[in-house]
Amino acid sequence: MRVTVLGVGRLGASHAANLRALSDVTQLRIYDSDPARAAGVAGPLEAEVAPSVEAALTGADAAIIVTPTGTHAALIRQCVGSGVPTFCEKPVALRLDDTRAVAEEVERTSARVQIGFQRRFDAGYRRARMMLAEGEIGSVYSFYMVSRDAIPPPDEYIATSGGQFKDQLIHDFDITRWLFADEVEELYANGSTSGFERYREMGDVATAGVALRMRGGAIGLISGARHNPAGYDIRVEIYGSRDSIAIGLDPRSPIRSVEVDAPPVAGPAYPSFFVRFGDAYRAELAHFLRFARGEVDNACTVRDGLEALRLAEAAERSRQQGRPVRLSEIG
């Protein structure tokens, strides 16, 4: 397959390297708004550098969009118009109306567009989803999700990210719908700029908590943080009528018990999402190429991206207005 990567920042460069390792990628083409960066990534991968988006898409069998969020919607439309199956990192856009318009266009044209939420391809999440679907956990009473970055992104990224709910916790919102095959009915969110008071000027928070009530009755809690010096920490605990399970609780989890008889932490902690979800990213791209060829179903639709964004919008409205928000209020 002839595959194009649009945007080779940190994540785009990683995707390009993962694609080069796949046997069904016969030609790799790279475009970036910074030609020097494109050349620097393309060289070691023996990839072709495209001078423009149009040139990058000409003759391509699939495209991977990893550009800044503000460009996603237009690039998806351009790929769809060129008849190129497309993978786009989350989010589709920062505004609901823009995201909804893309979803409607993709559905109207039956275009193949997969959105990047890599947790859907993590082995632990997939096993938990199977256990839930097969009733091994019983009725889900509650769940607790943790999403904590080791090191905050640069301030210039924070200023244009759309906020913690749309940028960081949108992964938790998506995986909540996917894991439990259920929808959120109502949520309440709060946040703090403690330790990062400059975020207040950006209209953002550094630490957040979200309480959710699912339509099926389960109660969920999501804890998010931009800074966790102990290490990158992504975990889920699920409590049901038959069993209690955890995802992401392993010897590298950056949390330690103070009990005298607790097992020692094997460490080292995960330094970043690249390490924690390396296998998931590779599996996600491999699935997308099969989807682009029409061999498998879409693992994450634009409509899924829209629903995750609705949850993020509800969380931000709740934080700003200091009240619970029902999802029926959002779009």
Residue 30's SS3 state is: strand
The Cα-based distances of 322 to 81, 208, 246 in angstroms read 43, 13, 31
The predicted structure's pLDDT at residue 223: 98
Q: Is the pLDDT of residue 265 over 90?
A: no
Q: Is the pLDDT of residue 263 over 90?
A: no
Which among 34, 26, 29 is positioned nearest to 9, based on CA atoms? 34
Q: Is the pLDDT of residue 267 over 80?
A: no
Residues 73/92, Cβ–Cβ less than 8 Å: yes
Which DSSP string corresponds to 41-89? HHHHHTPEEPSSHHHHHTT-SEEEE-S-GGGHHHHHHHHHHTT--EEEE
The pLDDT-based confidence of 256 (bands split at 50, 70, 90) is confident
- Provide mean pLDDT across the span 221-245: 97
The predicted structure's pLDDT at residue 45: 97
Residues 321/328, Cβ–Cβ less than 8 Å: no
Residue 171: Cβ-neighbour burial (10 angstroms; 0-12, 13-18, 19+): buried
The Cα-based distances of 142 to 207, 217, 220, 269 in angstroms read 21, 9, 5, 27
Q: Is the pLDDT of residue 181 over 90?
A: yes
Could you tell me what percent of the chain has a pLDDT over 70? Answer: 100
- Contacts with 322 (C-beta within 8 Å, 6 or more apart), sequence order: 190
Calpha distance 272→150 (Å, rounded): 7
Average pLDDT, the chain: 96
Residue 253's SS3 state is: coil
Written as one letter, the residue type at 65 is: I
The predicted structure's pLDDT at residue 1: 97
Q: In this predicted model, what pLDDT tens digit does every residue of 163-173 receive, in sequence order?
A: 999 999 999 99
Higher pLDDT, 219 or 267: 219
Residues 88/73, Cβ–Cβ less than 8 Å: no
CA-CA-CA-CA torsion sign (166, 172, 174, 180) = negative
Q: In this predicted model, what pLDDT tens digit does every residue of 99-140 receive, in sequence order?
A: 999 999 999 999 999 999 999 999 999 999 999 999 999 999
Q: What is the CA radius of gyration of the chain?
A: 20
The pLDDT-based confidence of 262 (bands split at 50, 70, 90) is confident
Q: What is the pTM of this model?
A: 0.96
The pLDDT-based confidence of 297 (bands split at 50, 70, 90) is very high
Calpha distance 53→32 (Å, rounded): 8
- Provide mean pLDDT across the span 1-21: 97
Q: In this predicted model, what pLDDT tens digit does every residue of 38-54 receive, in sequence order?
A: 999 999 999 999 999 99
- Contacts with 254 (C-beta within 8 Å, 6 or more apart), sequence order: 150, 228, 230, 231, 232, 233, 265, 269, 270
